[in-house]
């Protein structure tokens, strides 16, 4: 009998015992190749990642800024597909049985094989959660049904201007966490990070799935501020992607240093 993964709940329990929040780096699987992206993931795990947010390359990633869009474009040109990405994760899961894997993807990639097939394939690959960036909560029911059927956590976004009714709906979900975006727009557009204090406060008061802050998180100071406001984790993608796109000769050392410093800042 298959059972739903407890990786996220175990992670949050262990972090709470250590008075830390989750450090969740984002990587686009397949950039510049599947093999190299797995090397990046391995390095981030070794340098402090508590969980991973992993992009599946898509031709029209509307929620992503120009940096992450570029990695998706190159990954697709180099032959990345959903099945190849999941095969790579399946191999990675054997080596890392305990760290949560979350996917960030788009509805077309889920519809193409059929909802049940997509989520079943995710489960077989060792994926714990899926966030579909272009599916709002009010249109999410068929995705939630398919995710639940296949023992995958459906993750949803809380916008910084979310209404009370939206936050109530989010609080009634049973996913592993709530992705709170720091500001409107797309990832990594170089605007200052904002901290939606009212949103996180209401989510915490409503006992919603753990609020994790994303969009523009690029410095340890951002992490420390998130800690002070009660967030249970932070997600950073564009800052990592910027380093990878620069492709400096010290890239792996730079990634390791960045990840280590971000993790160090998660102590409460």
115: alpha, beta or left? (left if phi > 0; alpha if psi -120 to 50)? alpha
DSSP 8-state code for residue 96: -
Among the listed residues 20, 64, 128, 153, the single catalytic one is: 64
Give the whole-angstrom CA distance, residue 76 versus residue 108.
Answer: 15
Catalytic residue flag (residue 53): yes
- State the Cα–Cα distance between residues 133 and 54, nearest whole angstrom: 12
64 is catalytic: yes
Helix axes 141-149, 115-124, angle to 10 degrees: 40
CA pair distance 238, 186, nearest whole angstrom: 10
Q: What is the full DSSP assignment across 113-176?
A: T-HHHHHHHHHHTT--EEEETT--GGG-HHHHHHHHHTT-EEEEEE-TT--HHHHHHHHT--SS
Q: What is the largest CA-CA distance in the chain?
A: 49
Torsion angle, CA of 215/220/224/229, rounded to 10 degrees? 0
Helices H / strands E in the chain, number of each: 12, 8
Out of 20, 53, 128, 153, pick the active-site residue.
Answer: 53
Residues with Cβ < 8 Å from 66, sequence gap 6 or more?
A: 188
- Could you tell me if 239 and 261 are in contact, meaning their C-beta atoms sit under 8 angstroms apart? no
Which residues are part of the catalytic machinery? 53, 64
């Amino acid at each position: 009998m298959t059972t739903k993964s407890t990786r996220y709940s175990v992670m949050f329990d262990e972090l709470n015992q250590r008075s830390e929040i989750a450090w969740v780096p984002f990587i686009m699987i397949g950039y510049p190749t599947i093999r190299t992206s797995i090397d990046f993931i391995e390095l981030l795990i070794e340098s402090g990642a508590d969980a991973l947010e992993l992009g599946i390359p898509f031709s029209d990633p509307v929620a992503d800024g120009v940096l992450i869009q570029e990695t998706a474009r190159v990954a697709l040109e180099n032959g990345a597909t959903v099945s190849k990405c999941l095969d790579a994760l399946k191999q990675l899961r054997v080596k890392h049985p305990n760290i949560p894997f979350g996917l960030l993807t788009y509805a077309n990639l889920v519809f193409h094989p059929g909802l049940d097939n997509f989520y079943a394939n995710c489960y077989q690959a060792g994926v714990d959660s899926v966030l579909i960036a272009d599916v709002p909560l009010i249109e999410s029911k068929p995705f939630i049904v398919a995710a639940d059927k296949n023992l995958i956590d459906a993750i949803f976004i809380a916008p910084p201007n979310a209404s009370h009714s939206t936050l109530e709906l989010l609080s009634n979900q049973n996913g592993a966490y709530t992705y709170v975006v720091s500001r409107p727009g797309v990832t990594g557009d170089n605007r200052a990070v904002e901290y939606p204090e009212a949103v996180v406060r209401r989510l915490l008061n409503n006992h919603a799935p753990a609020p994790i802050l994303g969009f523009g998180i690029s410095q340890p100071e951002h992490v420390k501020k998130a800690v002070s406001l009660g967030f249970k984790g932070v997600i950073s993608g564009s800052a990592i992607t910027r380093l990878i796109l620069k492709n400096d000769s010290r890239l792996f050392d730079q990634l390791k240093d960045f990840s280590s410093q971000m993790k160090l800042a998660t102590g409460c």
